[in-house]
Amino acid sequence: MSERSETMKGGSISLLDMVVVAFVIVGFVCLLNFYGYALLPYSPDEICFLQPAQNLAEGKGMGTPALDDLLPGISQRTYWQPPVYFLVLSVWGKLAGFDVMSSRLLSRVCGVGVLLLLWLLALRWGVHPQLALICAIWTALDLTFQYNSNLGRMDTMNALWLMACLLAFTENQRSGKIWQATIAGFFGALATLTHFIAIPSVLTLALFLAWRKRWRDLLWFSLPILLGWGAWLVYAAQDWQSFWSQLCYQFARKGEGGFALKLLHLLFLQALVPLFGVFAVNSPPVWLPLTLLSALAWKKRALSLREWQLVFFLAVYTSASFGGELCYIGWFTPFGYLLLSLWFHQAFKENRWRFALVGLCLLWCSYQGFRVGQALSSVQSLKAEIDRFNFELATVLPEGAQVLLHGVPDPFPTLQRLRPDLRLIQLSPTPMQQEALKRTLRQSDFFVGLTGWGQNHGVPLNEKLKEWVFHAPFGAWLVRLYTLKGGEIRE
């Protein structure tokens, strides 16, 4: 067996391995449950995903009225993200309820699925069973992955589908059965229709089949993807103008910031800057050097990777880095640790390196545990600050006011529940159509959110009425309540 084919031979699973994995998963779930709503989102957009899912479940279409047509037509139809997350969340919401915590629970379930598939995939790729366990432990302890698995967003679900696609594709490469290619294509369709970030990775697998002239496998791999995208385009055909306009606004955001910012994204260096006092990544920016070094090592036959595996890693990293969002780092994390475990496996075969590798594994796990401990230290106090903020804001706003929101924590879910008399509008994290934004600003009474964000987006902040401070291990930040056109505060 050649060195490159060794990655496809698979590894055995013992009872002890399953016990350790179960322990890791239980610990992971307990940790996220303890974080609860104190693990704050990168951007206050969870309601923008929850609302269309709820409307869909209630037979009201798939619109997002909270965005007030700040993106064209979005009050009636949501096109700025593919539909699978909304569809799954609408079914999930019927079982668990339509609130932000239920959508975060769905992400935790997906996070558990990612850990399981990652462990199985590492074994299938020939990683030593103990290193496969360490790969899952590294991922479970990583703060970026924990954040993604506790947010009401589609990133962790997308990683789950993509990991399942990769595992099924691996099995197809081992035994060449058509049904394996079909399953890989099915999960590839789910991945690309959950988030655009998966498109380059899934396309890479299809191109590999074409390059190898495996036309039958390519046909059955592509069929579910074509059917899925065809169904979405049929939905898009109901309002082509809104479809293209929403996507243009969404992708315009990716082009902001210039060359310097893109360079930071390429290195994942934007994650080293604490955001809202909590988002300081607990892994150094090693993913780009590791990915490039892997390509060089593969060329010199020093790393057990097949061509399609290497190109897949390059596609995943490129998608995450050029996407530029902080949540994309957590999306890439399981794949990064999978690649790292392959390196450790390669070195582990050399007996003289084993002691050093064990030491590095323990050292890194200890560092990850330390950073998780720092995050845990502020959970109770941050929950108390969030509760006070939501209660005071719900009390102080006058009846019938129209309120613009863009803050972390996001008060939209609480105000929607406690103050149904208010007209709440969530300002979009993407660029917004200017005429709609000007109209919304003229009609609104208050702004609740981050001062700098509001100023940068032309919100005419008037009098500061109240402010709240939030503390976390890596800093503090303020959320303020402003009048916009002479709104009066309730005594």
The two structure tokens encoding residue 7: 């990655």
If you ran DSSP here, which 8-state letter would residue 478 be given?
E
Q: Which residue type does 407 have? A: G
Q: Taking residues 44-63, report their average pLDDT.
A: 93
Q: Taking residues 94-98, report their average pLDDT.
A: 92
pLDDT of residue 159: 98
pLDDT of residue 221: 98
Nearest to 147 by CA among 472, 488, 433: 472
Which residues have a Cβ under 8 Å from the Cβ of 491 and sit 6 or more positions away?
A: none
Nearest to 440 by CA among 474, 491, 485, 395: 485
Q: Taking residues 103-110, report their average pLDDT.
A: 96
pLDDT of residue 246: 92
Q: How confident is the model at residue 405 (pLDDT cuts 50, 70, 90)?
A: very high
Q: Taking residues 216-225, report their average pLDDT.
A: 97
Q: Are 426 and 44 in contact (CB under 8 A)?
A: yes
Q: How confident is the model at residue 491 (pLDDT cuts 50, 70, 90)?
A: very low
Share of the chain above pLDDT 70, in %: 89
User: Is the pLDDT at 301 greater than 70, yes or no?
Assistant: yes
Q: Are 334 and 139 in contact (CB under 8 A)?
A: yes
Nearest to 434 by CA among 252, 259, 254, 237: 252
The two structure tokens encoding residue 144: 């970026």
User: Is the pLDDT at 79 greater than 70, yes or no?
Assistant: yes
User: Is the pLDDT at 488 greater than 50, yes or no?
Assistant: no
pLDDT of residue 406: 93
The two structure tokens encoding residue 176: 């060449």
User: Is the pLDDT at 100 greater than 50, yes or no?
Assistant: yes
CA dihedral 20, 22, 26, 27 (to 10 degrees): 20
pTM for the full model? 0.92
- How far is 118 from 406, CA to CA, in rounded Å? 35
pLDDT of residue 3: 41
Q: How confident is the model at residue 267 (pLDDT cuts 50, 70, 90)?
A: low
Q: Taking residues 283-308, report their average pLDDT.
A: 83
120-172 pLDDT tens trace: 999 999 998 999 999 999 999 998 899 999 999 999 999 999 999 999 999 99
Which residues have a Cβ under 8 Å from the Cβ of 399 and sit 6 or more positions away?
A: 421
Top-confidence residue, 387 or 38? 387
- Count how many Cα atoms sit within 13 Å of the Cα of residue 84 in the half-sphere of its side chain: 22
Q: Minimum mean pLDDT among 2-6, 226-230, 237-241, 445-449: which range?
A: 2-6
Alpha carbon of residue 325 to chain centroid: 9
Helix (H/G/I), strand (E/B), else coil: 470: strand
462-478 pLDDT tens trace: 999 999 999 887 778 99
User: Is the pLDDT at 41 greater than 90, yes or no?
Assistant: no
pLDDT of residue 103: 95
Which residues have a Cβ under 8 Å from the Cβ of 97 and sit 6 or more positions away?
A: none
pLDDT of residue 2: 43
Name the range with the highest mean pLDDT among 238-242, 321-325, 357-361, 371-375: 238-242
Q: Minimum mean pLDDT among 31-45, 265-279, 358-372: which range?
A: 265-279
309-351 pLDDT tens trace: 999 999 999 999 887 788 888 899 999 999 999 998 888 776 6
pLDDT of residue 486: 45
Do strands 446-449 and 475-483 pair parallel, antiparallel, or not at all (unpaired)?
Answer: antiparallel
239-259 pLDDT tens trace: 999 999 999 988 887 766 665
pLDDT of residue 355: 78
Nearest to 106 by CA among 156, 174, 164: 156
User: Is the pLDDT at 360 greater than 70, yes or no?
Assistant: yes
Specify the DSSP element, H or E, that contains 435.
helix 434-443
pLDDT of residue 62: 93
pLDDT of residue 490: 42
pLDDT of residue 351: 67
